[in-house]
Amino acid sequence: MKSEKYLFDTYALLFWYTREHVSKEFISYFDRQHDSGGLFVSSISFWELALLAKRDRIEIGNVESWRIELLSNTNILLLEPSASEMIQSVDLPDYHKDPFDRLLIVQANNLQAKLVSRDVNIARYSVSVFWK
């Protein structure tokens, strides 16, 4: 049986890993998905986390250390955006202005993964969105 693929948006990744601001059901569901090897994160999420930390919108002391810890202690697979995906993200309809989310939409579609996000604007695109 083919396992599902899930690409975390930045906040979903943060919430799952820190076990904060999400339900126990969300945590246990993605813990099970983690064990099957179906979780992905885009490198752009670490860029967004660094920007959020700099603006004091999240509390992560050292984003680089947090990134290394996350990738060392999980089997989450890291996706690097391609130039083609960056261009495709610009060509999306303008429902959502956030360039990070637009790129995640393209990456999720190209990976044939569900995008884990509670952002209602993302659901306006032709992308499979998942929030537990």
For residue 1, the model assigns a pLDDT of 42
CA nearest to 82, candidates 29, 44, 30: 44
The top-level CATH class assigned to 6-130 is alpha beta
Give the Å distances, CA to CA, from 123 to 31, 88, 101, 105.
24, 17, 11, 10
> What does the angle CA 45 – CA 100 – CA 62 come to, to the nearest 5 degrees?
30
Mean pLDDT of 54-65: 93
Its pTM stands at: 0.93
CA nearest to 7, candidates 44, 53, 51: 44
Confidence of residue 97 (pLDDT cuts 50, 70, 90): confident
| Residue appearing with tokens 């990738």 | 71
Q: Is 81 exposed, middle or buried (0-12, 13-18, 19+ CB in 10 A)?
A: middle
Q: Is a pLDDT exceeding 70 seen at residue 98?
A: yes
Over residues 6-32, the pLDDT tens digits come to: 999 999 999 999 999 999 999 999 998
